[in-house]
């Protein structure tokens, strides 16, 4: 199977910068589809982004406090 990319969803917050506030898994850790994987903050709003598939978190593609754009790759998961 190919690697699954976790993308930042459209949070419908026009003009509000979105940034990573926390990671809830580390590279090499097994994650389950639906697990809370990353926390992002936009102004006073905090949103959890869940794993789109079960497998091994292969890569964190963004750092804490990094400003994000809709559709940006947040992480890569190796299914399995």
3-state secondary structure of 30: strand
The structural domains of the chain, with segments of one domain joined by +, span 4-79
The contacts of residue 79 (CB under 8 Å, 6+ apart) are 1, 2, 3, 4, 53, 54, 55
CA distances from 33 to 1, 42, 45, 67, 77 (A): 15, 24, 23, 25, 10
- Topology (CATH) of 4-79: OB fold (Dihydrolipoamide Acetyltransferase, E2P) (2.40.50)
Residue-level pLDDT at 52: 95
Share of the chain above pLDDT 90, in %: 79
Instruction: Give the residue from 40, 57, 41 showing the smallest Cα distance to 49.
Output: 40
pLDDT digits (tens, 9 = 90+) for 38-63: 999 998 889 999 999 999 999 999 99
> What does the pLDDT average to over 14-20?
87
Could you tell me the pTM of the whole model?
0.89
Per-residue pLDDT band at 1 (split at 50, 70, 90): low
Q: Which residues pair with 19 in a beta bridge?
A: 41, 67
């Amino acid at each position: 199977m190919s690697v699954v990319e976790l993308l930042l969803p459209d949070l419908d917050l026009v003009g509000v910068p979105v940034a990573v506030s926390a990671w809830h898994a580390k590279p090499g850790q097994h994650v389950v589809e639906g697990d809370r994987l990353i926390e992002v903050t936009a102004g006073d709003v905090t949103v959890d982004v869940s794993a789109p598939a079960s497998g091994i978190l292969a890569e964190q593609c963004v750092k804490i406090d990094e400003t994000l754009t809709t559709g940006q790759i947040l992480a890569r998961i190796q299914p399995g």
